[in-house]
Amino acid sequence: MASTTTTVPSAGPVAGSRSFLSRLRQGDEIAHIITFLFAVSVVLVTLLLVFDLWQGSALPRHKFGFDFFRTSVWDPIFDHFGALPFIYGTLVTATVSLLIAVPLGIGAAIFLAELAPARVSDTLEFFIDLLAAVPSVIYGLLGVFIVVPLMRQYIQPALKHSFGFLPLFQGPAYGVGFLTAGIVLAIMVIPYIISVSREVLLSVPRDQREAALSLGATRWESTWKVVVPFARGGILGSIFLALARALGETMAVTMVIGNTPAISASLFSSGYSIAAVIANELTEATSNLHYQSLIELGLALFLLTFVLNGLARLLIVATSQRGAGMGNA
C-alpha cells in the first residue's frame, strides 16, 4: 500500500478557534490600550504640572538656587524668600493630623466593618462620607469659632500642666498654631481613612475570620491579626489619600495655624504651611519674583510629597511580612 500523507485539514475547528481567539485577543488588546491610555494620562498630567511649576519659578530658582530651601526669611518687600518655615509647618501639621486620624480612623473602620450590624454600619458610613463633603472653608470657620477657643481655654493649658516639661508643649498658647491645625486636618482626613478602610475590610473573605476563630483566637485577635493584615493594602492606600489631603489643604489650615513663618519645637507655636502661604499671597503678589517664589514653593511641596511617599513605601516594604494578603501600596 502506498503511504498516503493525510493532511490534517487546516480549516475546521482549529482554524475556526484561532480566528475566534484572535478576535478575543483584539477585544482584550483594545481594552488594554484604552485603559493604558487613561492610566498614562495621569502620569502625563502630573508631569505637565511639574513642568508648569518649573517654568513658572524660573526667576527665584536662578536667583536663590538651593538657598531657597535653607533660608527662613520671607520678605516680599525686600525680595528675600526662603522656604524652610513653610516646609517645616507642612510636615508638622501633616504628622500631627495623621497621628490623630489614623488610629481613630482605623478603629472606627474596624468597628463599622466587624461589629456594627449592617444597617447601622451603612447609615453611619453615609454620614461619615458627608464629612468629606463639608467645604474646607467651613472647616476653617468652625476651626476658628469652636476649636481655637477650646484649645486656648482648656486643652492647651491642660497639656501644659501635665506635659509642660516636653518642649512640644511649651510657650504661649493663643489657640492657633501647629496643634490646632493638625487637629482640624485630622477631622478633615478621617472620612477617607474610614470610608476606604471599611470597604476593604468588608471585602475580606469570611473564611479568613472563621479560620482564625476556629483556631481559638478571640474576636479581637482574629480581627487585628488576620483580617486587618489581609486588608493592609487598602488601608495603607487610604492613609496615602489622607496624607496627600493633609499636605495640600489650604483654606482650613490658614484660618487656624496663625500664619507666622516660624520654626519652633512647640506645638503651641503659630506657624505656616506651604499651601496656606500660596493661597494667602498668590492673588495679591505684585512683583514677579514674589509670584514665582510662591510657585517655587508649590514645586517644593511636590518634592516633599515625592519624598514622603517614597519613604512611606519603603517603610511598607521593609515591614511587610512575606505572603501577607494583598499588600500593594
Partner 1 sequence: MNSRLRWRKFVSGFMLAMTGVCALVSVSVLFLILGYLVFHGGTSISWNFFTKLPAPVGETGGGMANAILGSGKLLLLAALIGVPVGFFGAIYLAEFSGSTTAFVVRYAADLLNGVPSIVIGIFAYSLVVLPFKHFSTLSGGFALGLMMIPITLRSTEEFLRAVPNALREAAMALGASKSKTIATVIVPAAYRGILTAVLLAFARVAGETAPLLFTAFGNRFWSQGWNQPTAALPEMIYRYAISPYDDWHRQAWAAGLVLLGLILIINIVARAILSRGIAVPRT
Partner 2 sequence: MKRIAGLLVVVLAVAGVLWADSALSINGAGATFPYPMYSKWFDEYHKKNANLQINYQSIGSGGGIKQVTEGTVDFGATDGPMNDEQLKAYQDKHGSGILHFPTVLGAVVPTYNIPGVTAELNFTPDALAGIFLGKITKWNDPAIIDANKGVKLPADDIVVVHRAEGSGTTYCWTDYLSKVSDEWKTKVGKGGSVNWPVGLGGKGNEGVTGTIKNTPDSIGYVELIYAESNKIPYGNVKNASGVFVKASLAAVSAAAAGAAKEMPDDFRVSITNAPGKAAYPISTFTWLLIPEKFSDAGKRDAIKGFVKWMLADGQNYAEALSYAKLPKEVVAKEVLAISKIQ
Looking at the Cβ atoms of 105 and 182, the one nearer to partner 1 is 105
Least Å distance, CB 19 to partner 1, is: 14
Residue whose C-alpha is closest to residue 97's, from 242, 198, 274, 195: 242
Q: Which of 183, 144, 177 is nearest to 270 (CA)?
A: 177
Report the residue number, 53 or 267, with the smaller CB distance to partner 1.
Answer: 53
Paired with 271 in beta bridges are 258
| Cα within 13 Å of Cα(122), Cβ side | 2
Q: What is the DSSP string of 225-270?
A: IIIHHHTHHHHHHHHHHHHHHHHH--HHHHHHSB------S-TTS-
Between 135 and 167, CB nearer to partner 1: 135
Q: Which is nearer to partner 1, 171 or 271 (CB)?
A: 271
Residues in 218-257 that interact with partner 2 by CB under 8 A: 254-255
How big is the chain, counted in residues? Answer: 329
CA 165 to chain centre: 32
Cell numbers for 14: 482549529
Set of cell numbers at residue 226: 488576620
Binding segment for partner 2 among 90-98, 138-146, 178-186, 321-329 (CB under 8 A)? 138-146
271 contacts partner 1 (rule: CB under 8 A): no
Q: How far is the CB of 71 from partner 2 (least distance, A)?
A: 12
Q: How far is the CB of 173 from partner 2 (least distance, A)?
A: 10
The minimum distance between CB 175 and partner 2, in angstroms, equals 6
What minimum distance in Å lies between the beta carbon of 220 and partner 1? 4
Instruction: Please report whether residue 22 would count as binding partner 1 according to CB under 8 A.
Output: no
- The contact mask relative to partner 2 for 74-113 (x = CB under 8 A, - = no) is xxxxx-x---------------------------------
Nearest Cα neighbor of 89 from 193, 192, 176 is 176
Q: Which region among 1-9, 152-160, 172-180, 295-303 touches partner 1 (by CB under 8 A)?
A: 295-303
